[in-house]
Amino acid sequence: MEKSLLEVKDLNLHYVVFGGSLKVLDGVNFRVGFKENIGIVGETGCGKTTTMKAIMRILGMTTAKISKGEILFKERDVLKMNEAEVQKFRRREISMIFQDPTAALNPVFSIKSQIYNVIKYSQGTEKKLTKKERKDLATKALSDVMLPDPERVLENYPIQLSGGMRQRVCIAMALLSDLDLLIADEPGTSLDVTIQDQILELLNELVRKKGISIILISHALGIIKNITHRTYVMYAGFMIEAAKTTELFSNPLHPYSKGLIASVPTLVGRGISNGIPGHIPNYSNPPLGCRFHPRCSYTMPICKVEKPPFLTVSDTHQVACWLFKKEGDKIGK
Protein backbone atom coordinates (compact mmCIF):
# COMPACT_ATOMS: atom_id res chain seq x y z
CA MET A 1 0.00 0.00 0.00
CA GLU A 2 1.43 3.31 -0.97
CA LYS A 3 1.67 5.99 1.68
CA SER A 4 -1.44 8.05 2.23
CA LEU A 5 -1.58 11.70 2.91
CA LEU A 6 -4.67 11.28 5.06
CA GLU A 7 -6.19 8.18 6.50
CA VAL A 8 -9.37 8.21 8.57
CA LYS A 9 -9.95 5.00 10.49
CA ASP A 10 -13.19 4.04 12.16
CA LEU A 11 -14.19 7.52 13.22
CA ASN A 12 -17.12 7.63 15.63
CA LEU A 13 -18.59 10.96 16.66
CA HIS A 14 -21.70 12.09 18.47
CA TYR A 15 -23.22 15.42 19.47
CA VAL A 16 -24.48 15.86 23.01
CA VAL A 17 -27.95 17.35 22.98
CA PHE A 18 -30.68 17.95 25.48
CA GLY A 19 -31.89 14.51 26.47
CA GLY A 20 -29.44 12.26 24.70
CA SER A 21 -26.94 12.27 21.91
CA LEU A 22 -26.91 12.33 18.14
CA LYS A 23 -24.69 9.58 16.91
CA VAL A 24 -23.73 11.16 13.64
CA LEU A 25 -20.56 9.39 12.56
CA ASP A 26 -20.63 5.63 12.82
CA GLY A 27 -17.22 4.38 11.86
CA VAL A 28 -16.02 6.48 8.94
CA ASN A 29 -13.16 5.06 6.88
CA PHE A 30 -11.41 6.67 3.97
CA ARG A 31 -8.01 7.66 2.69
CA VAL A 32 -6.54 10.35 0.50
CA GLY A 33 -3.29 9.86 -1.37
CA PHE A 34 -0.74 12.49 -2.33
CA LYS A 35 -1.78 14.68 -5.24
CA GLU A 36 -5.03 12.78 -5.40
CA ASN A 37 -8.47 14.29 -5.98
CA ILE A 38 -11.08 12.59 -3.85
CA GLY A 39 -14.79 13.11 -4.12
CA ILE A 40 -17.29 12.49 -1.36
CA VAL A 41 -20.90 12.19 -2.38
CA GLY A 42 -23.92 11.97 -0.18
CA GLU A 43 -27.16 13.66 0.64
CA THR A 44 -27.49 16.54 3.08
CA GLY A 45 -27.15 15.44 6.63
CA CYS A 46 -25.06 12.33 6.05
CA GLY A 47 -22.12 13.69 7.99
CA LYS A 48 -19.75 14.89 5.29
CA THR A 49 -19.16 18.33 6.78
CA THR A 50 -18.93 16.95 10.29
CA THR A 51 -16.22 14.52 9.22
CA MET A 52 -14.22 17.29 7.61
CA LYS A 53 -14.53 19.49 10.63
CA ALA A 54 -13.45 16.59 12.79
CA ILE A 55 -10.36 16.13 10.65
CA MET A 56 -9.41 19.74 11.21
CA ARG A 57 -10.50 19.56 14.84
CA ILE A 58 -12.60 22.65 14.49
CA LEU A 59 -15.57 21.29 16.35
CA GLY A 60 -14.39 23.02 19.49
CA MET A 61 -17.31 25.35 20.03
CA THR A 62 -19.99 22.73 19.47
CA THR A 63 -20.99 19.82 21.66
CA ALA A 64 -19.35 17.19 19.47
CA LYS A 65 -17.44 14.34 21.06
CA ILE A 66 -15.27 11.78 19.31
CA SER A 67 -15.64 8.43 20.97
CA LYS A 68 -13.45 6.27 18.76
CA GLY A 69 -11.14 6.36 15.77
CA GLU A 70 -7.96 7.72 14.34
CA ILE A 71 -7.21 10.45 11.87
CA LEU A 72 -3.75 9.90 10.46
CA PHE A 73 -2.27 12.81 8.57
CA LYS A 74 1.14 11.94 7.19
CA GLU A 75 1.01 9.12 9.70
CA ARG A 76 0.52 11.29 12.77
CA ASP A 77 -2.79 10.99 14.61
CA VAL A 78 -4.47 14.38 14.50
CA LEU A 79 -6.71 13.50 17.41
CA LYS A 80 -3.75 12.94 19.66
CA MET A 81 -1.94 16.12 18.81
CA ASN A 82 -1.46 18.75 21.46
CA GLU A 83 -2.55 22.35 21.03
CA ALA A 84 0.65 23.60 19.43
CA GLU A 85 0.85 20.74 16.95
CA VAL A 86 -2.79 21.12 15.95
CA GLN A 87 -2.29 24.80 15.33
CA LYS A 88 0.67 24.11 13.13
CA PHE A 89 -1.34 21.45 11.32
CA ARG A 90 -4.19 23.83 10.63
CA ARG A 91 -2.02 26.72 9.63
CA ARG A 92 0.41 25.07 7.31
CA GLU A 93 -0.78 21.72 6.13
CA ILE A 94 -4.52 21.73 5.59
CA SER A 95 -7.22 24.19 4.64
CA MET A 96 -10.94 24.16 4.21
CA ILE A 97 -13.36 26.02 2.01
CA PHE A 98 -16.77 26.18 3.59
CA GLN A 99 -20.10 25.56 2.03
CA ASP A 100 -21.62 29.00 2.25
CA PRO A 101 -19.11 31.77 1.59
CA THR A 102 -21.43 34.34 3.12
CA ALA A 103 -21.48 32.48 6.39
CA ALA A 104 -17.76 31.75 6.24
CA LEU A 105 -16.73 35.40 6.25
CA ASN A 106 -17.06 37.47 9.37
CA PRO A 107 -19.48 40.23 8.39
CA VAL A 108 -18.01 42.93 10.60
CA PHE A 109 -14.42 42.81 9.44
CA SER A 110 -13.15 44.09 6.10
CA ILE A 111 -11.70 41.65 3.60
CA LYS A 112 -8.34 43.25 4.16
CA SER A 113 -8.58 42.64 7.87
CA GLN A 114 -9.56 39.02 7.40
CA ILE A 115 -6.91 38.20 4.82
CA TYR A 116 -4.19 39.84 6.85
CA ASN A 117 -5.34 37.78 9.79
CA VAL A 118 -4.91 34.57 7.80
CA ILE A 119 -1.58 35.72 6.42
CA LYS A 120 -0.40 36.30 9.94
CA TYR A 121 -0.88 32.66 10.83
CA SER A 122 -0.23 30.93 7.55
CA GLN A 123 3.26 32.01 6.67
CA GLY A 124 5.15 30.30 9.41
CA THR A 125 6.98 31.87 12.32
CA GLU A 126 10.27 32.39 10.55
CA LYS A 127 8.86 34.87 8.13
CA LYS A 128 7.84 38.29 9.41
CA LEU A 129 6.39 40.26 6.54
CA THR A 130 6.61 44.00 6.04
CA LYS A 131 3.45 45.93 5.39
CA LYS A 132 4.19 46.14 1.72
CA GLU A 133 5.01 42.45 1.46
CA ARG A 134 1.77 41.65 3.22
CA LYS A 135 -0.28 43.81 0.91
CA ASP A 136 1.42 42.35 -2.13
CA LEU A 137 0.76 38.84 -0.92
CA ALA A 138 -2.90 39.60 -0.34
CA THR A 139 -3.30 41.27 -3.70
CA LYS A 140 -1.59 38.41 -5.48
CA ALA A 141 -3.77 35.86 -3.68
CA LEU A 142 -6.88 37.71 -4.79
CA SER A 143 -5.78 38.02 -8.38
CA ASP A 144 -4.86 34.33 -8.45
CA VAL A 145 -8.51 33.58 -7.92
CA MET A 146 -9.39 35.84 -10.82
CA LEU A 147 -10.81 38.71 -8.80
CA PRO A 148 -10.72 41.94 -10.81
CA ASP A 149 -9.44 45.00 -8.95
CA PRO A 150 -8.08 43.23 -5.87
CA GLU A 151 -7.20 46.51 -4.17
CA ARG A 152 -10.82 47.58 -4.06
CA VAL A 153 -11.95 44.15 -2.86
CA LEU A 154 -9.55 44.45 0.05
CA GLU A 155 -11.23 47.63 1.22
CA ASN A 156 -14.70 46.16 1.01
CA TYR A 157 -16.79 44.36 3.57
CA PRO A 158 -18.22 40.94 2.77
CA ILE A 159 -21.69 42.33 2.39
CA GLN A 160 -20.55 44.52 -0.46
CA LEU A 161 -19.36 41.61 -2.56
CA SER A 162 -21.36 39.24 -4.71
CA GLY A 163 -21.65 35.56 -3.85
CA GLY A 164 -19.14 34.51 -6.44
CA MET A 165 -16.64 37.08 -5.24
CA ARG A 166 -17.02 35.92 -1.66
CA GLN A 167 -16.39 32.36 -2.71
CA ARG A 168 -13.22 33.40 -4.49
CA VAL A 169 -12.05 35.32 -1.44
CA CYS A 170 -12.55 32.21 0.67
CA ILE A 171 -10.56 30.15 -1.80
CA ALA A 172 -7.81 32.74 -1.81
CA MET A 173 -7.61 32.65 1.99
CA ALA A 174 -7.53 28.88 2.02
CA LEU A 175 -4.65 28.73 -0.42
CA LEU A 176 -2.43 31.25 1.31
CA SER A 177 -0.39 28.66 3.12
CA ASP A 178 1.91 25.95 1.94
CA LEU A 179 -0.76 23.33 2.34
CA ASP A 180 -0.87 19.69 1.31
CA LEU A 181 -4.58 19.04 1.53
CA LEU A 182 -7.53 21.18 0.62
CA ILE A 183 -11.07 20.35 1.68
CA ALA A 184 -13.76 21.92 -0.46
CA ASP A 185 -17.22 21.57 1.07
CA GLU A 186 -19.79 21.94 -1.69
CA PRO A 187 -18.04 24.89 -3.34
CA GLY A 188 -20.35 27.08 -5.30
CA THR A 189 -23.51 25.33 -4.19
CA SER A 190 -25.16 28.55 -3.13
CA LEU A 191 -24.25 30.24 -6.35
CA ASP A 192 -25.52 30.52 -9.88
CA VAL A 193 -24.70 27.45 -11.96
CA THR A 194 -22.50 29.29 -14.41
CA ILE A 195 -20.55 30.87 -11.58
CA GLN A 196 -20.32 27.51 -9.88
CA ASP A 197 -18.75 26.16 -13.04
CA GLN A 198 -16.16 28.90 -13.08
CA ILE A 199 -15.35 28.37 -9.44
CA LEU A 200 -14.82 24.68 -9.90
CA GLU A 201 -12.63 25.14 -12.90
CA LEU A 202 -10.63 27.62 -10.93
CA LEU A 203 -10.27 25.17 -8.08
CA ASN A 204 -9.23 22.40 -10.38
CA GLU A 205 -6.60 24.62 -11.95
CA LEU A 206 -5.17 25.84 -8.66
CA VAL A 207 -5.06 22.39 -7.16
CA ARG A 208 -3.17 21.07 -10.14
CA LYS A 209 -0.78 23.97 -10.21
CA LYS A 210 0.08 23.69 -6.54
CA GLY A 211 0.28 19.93 -6.58
CA ILE A 212 -2.01 19.43 -3.62
CA SER A 213 -4.67 16.88 -2.85
CA ILE A 214 -8.27 17.89 -2.62
CA ILE A 215 -11.30 16.37 -0.96
CA LEU A 216 -14.25 17.61 -2.95
CA ILE A 217 -17.60 17.26 -1.28
CA SER A 218 -20.69 17.66 -3.32
CA HIS A 219 -24.05 16.25 -4.02
CA ALA A 220 -23.80 17.39 -7.62
CA LEU A 221 -22.55 14.28 -9.34
CA GLY A 222 -21.57 15.97 -12.56
CA ILE A 223 -18.93 17.97 -10.73
CA ILE A 224 -17.51 14.95 -9.04
CA LYS A 225 -17.23 13.13 -12.32
CA ASN A 226 -15.17 15.86 -13.91
CA ILE A 227 -12.63 16.54 -11.26
CA THR A 228 -11.96 13.58 -9.03
CA HIS A 229 -9.85 10.47 -9.36
CA ARG A 230 -11.61 8.45 -6.70
CA THR A 231 -14.96 8.88 -5.08
CA TYR A 232 -16.59 7.79 -1.85
CA VAL A 233 -20.29 7.53 -1.30
CA MET A 234 -21.37 8.39 2.19
CA TYR A 235 -24.62 7.66 3.96
CA ALA A 236 -25.79 8.36 7.51
CA GLY A 237 -22.33 8.61 8.99
CA PHE A 238 -20.37 5.91 7.24
CA MET A 239 -18.84 5.23 3.85
CA ILE A 240 -20.85 2.77 1.86
CA GLU A 241 -18.89 2.64 -1.37
CA ALA A 242 -15.49 3.68 -2.70
CA ALA A 243 -14.26 3.41 -6.25
CA LYS A 244 -12.35 5.02 -9.05
CA THR A 245 -14.67 7.73 -10.18
CA THR A 246 -15.30 6.49 -13.67
CA GLU A 247 -15.96 3.02 -12.36
CA LEU A 248 -18.36 4.26 -9.71
CA PHE A 249 -20.44 6.07 -12.24
CA SER A 250 -20.48 3.32 -14.80
CA ASN A 251 -21.02 0.53 -12.32
CA PRO A 252 -22.43 1.56 -8.96
CA LEU A 253 -22.82 -1.45 -6.68
CA HIS A 254 -24.50 -0.35 -3.48
CA PRO A 255 -28.28 -0.02 -3.77
CA TYR A 256 -28.03 3.55 -2.51
CA SER A 257 -25.36 4.49 -5.01
CA LYS A 258 -27.40 2.96 -7.73
CA GLY A 259 -30.33 5.10 -6.72
CA LEU A 260 -28.10 8.19 -6.56
CA ILE A 261 -26.55 7.73 -9.95
CA ALA A 262 -29.92 6.94 -11.41
CA SER A 263 -31.42 10.10 -10.00
CA VAL A 264 -29.24 12.34 -12.15
CA PRO A 265 -31.59 13.57 -14.83
CA THR A 266 -30.50 12.81 -18.38
CA LEU A 267 -31.62 14.33 -21.62
CA VAL A 268 -31.98 11.01 -23.30
CA GLY A 269 -32.64 7.63 -21.85
CA ARG A 270 -34.14 7.51 -18.36
CA GLY A 271 -35.24 11.12 -18.10
CA ILE A 272 -36.07 11.98 -14.50
CA SER A 273 -36.17 9.14 -12.03
CA ASN A 274 -38.16 8.72 -8.85
CA GLY A 275 -35.36 9.27 -6.38
CA ILE A 276 -34.80 7.07 -3.37
CA PRO A 277 -37.83 6.65 -1.11
CA GLY A 278 -37.51 7.36 2.60
CA HIS A 279 -35.19 9.71 4.38
CA ILE A 280 -32.02 9.72 6.44
CA PRO A 281 -32.30 8.06 9.83
CA ASN A 282 -32.86 9.79 13.12
CA TYR A 283 -29.42 10.08 14.66
CA SER A 284 -30.68 10.01 18.21
CA ASN A 285 -32.02 6.54 17.60
CA PRO A 286 -30.34 5.14 14.50
CA PRO A 287 -31.30 1.79 13.00
CA LEU A 288 -29.27 -1.26 14.04
CA GLY A 289 -27.06 -3.04 11.62
CA CYS A 290 -26.73 -1.33 8.28
CA ARG A 291 -28.13 2.17 8.64
CA PHE A 292 -29.53 2.07 5.14
CA HIS A 293 -31.62 -1.04 5.58
CA PRO A 294 -34.97 0.68 6.22
CA ARG A 295 -34.80 2.25 2.76
CA CYS A 296 -33.22 -0.65 0.92
CA SER A 297 -35.18 -2.85 -1.47
CA TYR A 298 -32.68 -5.68 -1.06
CA THR A 299 -32.67 -5.98 2.70
CA MET A 300 -31.60 -9.34 4.09
CA PRO A 301 -31.93 -10.53 7.69
CA ILE A 302 -28.27 -9.88 8.42
CA CYS A 303 -28.62 -6.25 7.33
CA LYS A 304 -30.85 -5.51 10.27
CA VAL A 305 -28.41 -6.89 12.78
CA GLU A 306 -24.83 -6.39 11.75
CA LYS A 307 -23.17 -3.45 10.08
CA PRO A 308 -21.46 -4.46 6.84
CA PRO A 309 -17.69 -3.87 6.68
CA PHE A 310 -15.92 -2.50 3.65
CA LEU A 311 -15.71 -5.41 1.23
CA THR A 312 -13.21 -5.32 -1.62
CA VAL A 313 -14.80 -6.22 -4.90
CA SER A 314 -11.86 -5.24 -7.10
CA ASP A 315 -8.59 -3.32 -6.90
CA THR A 316 -10.39 -0.10 -7.37
CA HIS A 317 -13.80 -0.80 -5.92
CA GLN A 318 -15.03 -1.41 -2.40
CA VAL A 319 -18.53 -1.49 -1.03
CA ALA A 320 -20.07 -1.88 2.42
CA CYS A 321 -23.02 -4.06 1.70
CA TRP A 322 -23.87 -7.62 2.63
CA LEU A 323 -25.02 -8.27 -0.90
CA PHE A 324 -21.40 -8.45 -1.92
CA LYS A 325 -20.13 -10.74 0.77
CA LYS A 326 -19.54 -13.51 -1.68
CA GLU A 327 -17.42 -11.33 -3.98
CA GLY A 328 -15.50 -10.11 -1.00
CA ASP A 329 -14.86 -13.62 0.15
CA LYS A 330 -13.72 -14.64 -3.32
CA ILE A 331 -10.98 -12.07 -3.40
CA GLY A 332 -10.16 -12.65 0.22
CA LYS A 333 -11.42 -9.32 1.55
Partner 1 sequence: MNNRNLAFIIKRLLYSILILWGISLLIFFVVRIIPGDPARMALGTQAPEDVVERLRVEMHYDKPIFIQYYYWFKNVLRGNLGISLVTKHPVLEDISELFPATFEIALYAFIFIAVVGTAIGVFSARYSNSWVDNLGRIFAYFGIVTPQFVFAIMGMLLFCYVFKILPSMGRLDPTLTYPAKITGLITIDALLQGNFIVFFDALKHLILPVLSVGLGGMAQSTRITRTSVYNNMRKDFIAAAQSYGVPDRVIMFRDLLKVSMNPTVSILGLQFATTLSNAFLVELIFNWPGFARYGMTAMLQKDLNAISGVVLTVAIFVMLGNIFADIVNSFLDPRVYLLSTSKE
Binding residues (CB under 8 A) for partner 1: these are 53, 56, 58-62, 87-88, 90-92, 95-96, 98-100, 103-110, 117-118, 121-122, 157, 159-160, 170, 173
Tell me whether residue 179 or residue 296 sits nearer to partner 1 (CB atom): 179
Instruction: Compare residues 54 and 223 and give the one whose CB is closer to partner 1.
Output: 54
Q: Which is nearer to partner 1, 158 or 255 (CB)?
A: 158
The DSSP annotation for 258-269 comes to HHHHHTS--SST
CB 162, min distance to partner 1, A: 14
Q: Which is nearer to partner 1, 18 or 267 (CB)?
A: 18
Shortest Cβ distance from residue 140 to partner 1 (Å)? 18
3-state percent breakdown (helix, strand, coil) of the chain, nearest 5: 40, 25, 35
Distance, in Å, from the CA atom of 153 to the CA atom of 207, rounded to the nearest integer, reads 23
In three-state secondary structure terms, 305 is coil
Mention every residue, 6+ apart, whose C-beta is less than 8 A from residue 182: 94, 95, 96, 97, 174, 175, 207, 212, 213, 214, 215
Shortest distance (Å) from residue 6 CB to partner 1: 15
Taking the complex as a whole, the smallest distance from the CB of residue 105 to partner 1 amounts, in Å, to 6
CA–CA separation, 257 vs 249, rounded Å?
A: 9
Phi first, then psi: give them for residue 34, nearest 5 degrees: -70, 140
Pair 52, 183: CB distance under 8 Å: yes
Please, which residue, 169 or 221, has the CB nearer to partner 1?
A: 169
Query: In the complex with partner 1, which residue's Cβ is closer, 110 or 251?
Result: 110
Cα–Cα dist 59/15, whole Å: 10
Query: Least distance in Å: CB of 171 to partner 1?
Result: 12
Minimum CB–partner distance for residue 210 and partner 1 (Å):
17
DSSP state of 158: G
